[in-house]
């Protein structure tokens, strides 16, 4: 509704305006290494798919990179009829429950007992039904492509919404690699070390998938109808590689309670509105967990349960106006080099190069090769996978 964040943002932005000499620079704060080894629970009971996913971790000081996991804990979903559904520990602090069948009108909470014997419980949460997404569409803006959605609950019961998305896009390497090294023994049979790639083996087309990085929520409280219109799910700047060939986004919609909404709103402020004089006071945000025996202990994280609905939207680059299409650059200063067969073992040993094509001699045996760096010829080096996702045409 009233976008208070954008209001404070614009005031904040305006502040910069006059600030003829304004500048931003890094600063070291004299923060003592406070004991921040708090348990952080991330738990969701997905009623639609009958599964619960829990991740147990520890908080770390902000300048530390490692994220310690909490394995070997006893984790269970409890309902208000005293039933317990135990989750099994996978790895990296992940716990999972599958084949869960919810009963109507039940309330659920999560119970955690860590390996050091501490017991934690969340508050009970109520499961809300979720309406379908009405429309998911893209819009061309002057500076990029906007993905927007509309949704409506005609019963006017949802009121609070949360969305997550997974976006997948195709991207290509600068050069196509048609041949590859095979075998291990470069000294014995030179011819064996290169081989043509089959279709399943090509590494010029990759697919990258990424989850939403921000909390997306909306409230229709105060509106005459329970309707969300033109909610911006994400924005892709003009020229971005994401829209180079084909882009696909899967948006999941969840109806949430007012408590969850309030929690997420506050949590949002702890990650996105970081400081600024007109930003609201950042605050200590703790979720709905408590240490059973010591309520004073800080426990982070939230347990929620609900149904989710989803919708997918795909865009191919031809659909877009040309000014929004991918602007190919050569960011890695790519070039093609040539090598003789004799040089091949050195290239192979370095591991930094990918072969592109070979020049055949009279008897169709290779006498020389073109090659480039992995970055320019192997799309996998840039984070994606070469395997086409199932929903790709």
Radius of gyration of the chain (CA): 26
Select the span of 16-24, 75-83, 129-137, 237-245 touching another protein (CB under 8 A).
16-24
Site for another protein in 67-96 (CB under 8 A): 67
Q: Tokens 């105060």 sit at which residue?
A: 222
The H-or-E segment that residue 126 falls in is strand 125-126
Site for another protein in 201-220 (CB under 8 A): 211, 213-215
Considering only 129, 282, 297, 332, the residue that binds another protein (CB under 8 A) is 282
Select the span of 25-33, 95-103, 309-317, 367-375 touching another protein (CB under 8 A).
25-33
Considering only 182, 270, 294, 338, the residue that binds another protein (CB under 8 A) is 270
Task: Please report how close the Cβ of residue 244 comes to another protein at its closest, in angstroms.
Answer: 24
User: From residue 226, how far is each of 132, 161, 261, 306, 309 by CA, in Å?
Assistant: 13, 10, 15, 18, 17
Closest to another protein by CB, 29 or 342: 29
Give strand pairing partners of 79. Answer: 108
The H-or-E segment that residue 345 falls in is helix 344-350
Task: Please report how close the Cβ of residue 265 comes to another protein at its closest, in angstroms.
Answer: 7
Check if the beta carbon of residue 265 is closer than 8 Å to that of residue 167: no
Is 49 a binding residue for another protein by CB under 8 A? The answer is no
Closest to another protein by CB, 137 or 223: 223
Cα–Cα dist 87/74, whole Å: 8
Is 225 a binding residue for another protein by CB under 8 A? The answer is yes
Which residues have CB under 8 Å from 278's CB, separation 6+?
8, 11, 12, 15
Select the span of 39-47, 127-135, 310-318, 367-375 touching another protein (CB under 8 A).
39-47
Is 34 a binding residue for another protein by CB under 8 A? The answer is yes
Considering only 6, 98, 103, 316, the residue that binds another protein (CB under 8 A) is 6
Cα–Cα dist 261/162, whole Å: 8
Select the span of 108-116, 132-140, 195-203, 294-302 touching another protein (CB under 8 A).
294-302
Cα–Cα dist 108/74, whole Å: 17
Considering only 46, 54, 55, 159, the residue that binds another protein (CB under 8 A) is 55
């Amino acid at each position: 509704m009233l976008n208070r964040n954008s209001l404070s943002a614009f005031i904040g932005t305006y502040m910069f305006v006059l600030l003829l000499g304004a500048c931003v620079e890094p600063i070291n704060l004299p923060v003592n290494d406070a004991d921040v080894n708090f348990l952080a629970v991330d738990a969701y009971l997905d009623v639609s798919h009958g599964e619960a996913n829990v991740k147990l971790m520890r908080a770390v000081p902000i300048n530390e990179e490692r994220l310690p996991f909490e394995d070997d804990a006893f984790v269970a979903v409890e309902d208000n009829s005293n039933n317990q559904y135990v989750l099994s520990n996978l790895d990296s602090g992940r716990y999972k429950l599958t084949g869960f069948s919810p009963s109507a009108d039940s309330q659920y909470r999560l119970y955690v007992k860590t390996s050091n014997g501490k017991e934690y419980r969340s508050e009970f949460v109520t499961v809300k039904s979720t309406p379908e997404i009405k429309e998911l569409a893209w819009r061309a803006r002057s500076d990029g492509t906007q993905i927007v959605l509309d949704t409506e609950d005609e019963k006017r019961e949802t009121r609070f919404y949360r969305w997550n998305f997974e976006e997948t896009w195709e991207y290509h390497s600068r050069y196509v690699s048609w041949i590859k090294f095979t075998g291990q023994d470069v000294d014995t049979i030179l011819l064996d070390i290169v081989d043509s790639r089959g279709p399943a083996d090509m590494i010029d087309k990759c697919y990258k998938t990424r989850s939403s990085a921000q909390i997306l929520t909306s409230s229709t409280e105060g509106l005459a109808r329970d309707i969300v219109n033109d909610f911006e799910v994400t924005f892709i700047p003009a020229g971005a590689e994401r829209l180079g060939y084909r882009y696909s986004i899967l948006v999941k919609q969840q109806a949430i309670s007012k408590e969850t909404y309030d929690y997420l709103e506050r949590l949002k402020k702890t990650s996105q509105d970081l400081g600024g004089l007109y930003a609201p006071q950042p605050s200590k945000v703790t979720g709905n967990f408590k240490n059973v025996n010591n309520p004073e202990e800080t426990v982070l994280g939230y347990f929620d349960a609900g149904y989710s609905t989803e919708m997918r939207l795909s865009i191919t680059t031809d659909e877009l106006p040309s000014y929004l299409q991918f602007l190919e650059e050569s960011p890695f200063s790519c070039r093609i080099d040539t090598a003789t067969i004799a040089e091949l073992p050195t290239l192979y040993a370095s591991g930094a190069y990918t072969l592109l094509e070979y020049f055949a001699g009279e008897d169709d045996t290779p006498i020389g090769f073109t090659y480039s760096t992995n970055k320019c010829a192997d799309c996998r080096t840039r984070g994606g996978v070469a395997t086409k996702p199932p929903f790709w045409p």
